């Protein structure tokens, strides 16, 4: 079925939407349960989402809007930096100028492949962002009153922390040497990887159920539906000038 036909089938589309959202929620449960720091395990300062093979967000868990709003830019950066993704790769980054928030928010992006007729086919990406308790910088917690970004902690450009399933030990050592709590960071980074691997397995199961063509058509239909209801909501706002006042202490 084409995307247009799937939009017209609300039952099929809702089943798929619920399935993809459940995958993102399960990623979050995996991250919370396997993380080391209270920041992630107890404060739940993380977000998980799924993207199609072109990098468009398809589903997200009910996590943190500030993470989810900018996460697509981090995924786009990873795709641009590494057009040769392979199964088992995972890119890590936290650069605010490449889609990140502040430096403690570290993003992981993993491609999702399925094997069809002996060939590995890219079907999407699993991604998550988590607030690490310390990433170095001039004060513990890495949220100082800084005058430049270099005072806030280590800046991680897009790098493959895992390549074809193998840990990039040099990159991990570099990150851990620049933080105050290296073993906690190692544990949380590994928990983020576990979350993405959960997403990979579940999406592979969905592709097996629907078939690749139908899976991609459903992703297209879901994005088209989201655009339609967003446009309708904006159109319902009366024309005019709107003002508000906000405060930040």
Asked if residue 240 is part of any domain, the answer here is no
Asked if residue 36 is part of any domain, the answer here is yes
Q: Quick one: average pLDDT of 118-132?
A: 97
For the chain, give the mean pLDDT: 95
For the record, the structure tokens of 49 come out as 């989402």
Structural Rg of the chain based on CA atoms: 19
The residues that bridge with 131 in the sheet, in sequence order, are 105
Residue 46 · residue 40 · CB < 8 Å:
yes
Question: What is d(CA 96, CA 143) in angstroms, rounded to the nearest whole number?
Answer: 14
Q: pLDDT tens digits for 15-66?
A: 999 999 999 999 999 999 999 999 999 999 999 999 999 999 999 999 999 9
- Per-residue pLDDT, 177: 98
pLDDT of residue 228 exceeding 70, the answer is: yes
Residue 126 · residue 203 · CB < 8 Å:
yes
pLDDT of residue 112 exceeding 70, the answer is: yes
- For residue 16, the surrounding DSSP H or E stretch is helix 10-34
pLDDT of residue 143 exceeding 80, the answer is: yes
Query: Cβ neighbours of residue 81 under 8 Å, at least 6 residues apart?
Result: 91, 158
Measured in residues, the chain has a length of: 249
What range defines the domain where residue 114 resides?
A: 3-235
Q: How many domains does the chain have?
A: 1
Asked if residue 249 is part of any domain, the answer here is no
Q: What are phi and psi of 146, to 5 degrees?
A: -105, 160
Asked if residue 70 is part of any domain, the answer here is yes
Token pair 């890119």 in the structure block, residue: 91
pLDDT of residue 163 exceeding 80, the answer is: yes
Q: Quick one: average pLDDT of 103-114?
A: 98
Asked if residue 243 is part of any domain, the answer here is no
Q: Quick one: average pLDDT of 60-77?
A: 95
Asked if residue 241 is part of any domain, the answer here is no
């Amino acid at each position: 079925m084409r995307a247009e036909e799937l939009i017209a089938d609300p039952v099929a589309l809702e089943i798929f939407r619920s399935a993809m959202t459940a995958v993102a929620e399960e990623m979050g449960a995996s991250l919370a349960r396997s993380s080391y720091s209270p920041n992630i395990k107890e404060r739940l300062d993380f977000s998980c989402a799924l993207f199609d093979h072109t990098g468009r967000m398809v589903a997200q868990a009910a996590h943190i809007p500030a993470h989810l709003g900018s996460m697509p830019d981090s995924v786009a950066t990873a795709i641009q930096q590494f057009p040769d993704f392979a199964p088992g790769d995972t890119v890590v980054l936290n650069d605010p100028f490449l889609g990140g928030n502040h430096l403690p928010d570290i993003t992981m992006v993993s491609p999702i492949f399925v094997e069809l007729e002996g060939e590995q086919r890219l079907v999407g990406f699993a991604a998550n962002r988590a607030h690490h308790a310390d990433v170095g910088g001039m004060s513990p917690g890495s949220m100082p009153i800084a005058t430049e970004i270099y005072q806030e902690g280590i800046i991680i450009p897009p790098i493959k922390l895992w390549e074809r399933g193998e840990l990039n030990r040099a990159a991990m050592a570099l990150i851990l040497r620049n933080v105050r709590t290296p073993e906690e960071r190692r544990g949380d980074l590994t928990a983020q990887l576990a979350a993405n691997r959960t997403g990979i397995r579940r999406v592979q199961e969905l592709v097996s159920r629907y078939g690749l063509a139908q899976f991609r058509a459903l992703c297209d239909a879901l994005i088209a539906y989201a655009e339609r209801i967003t446009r309708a909501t904006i159109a319902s706002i009366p024309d005019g000038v709107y003002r508000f006042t906000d405060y930040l202490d």
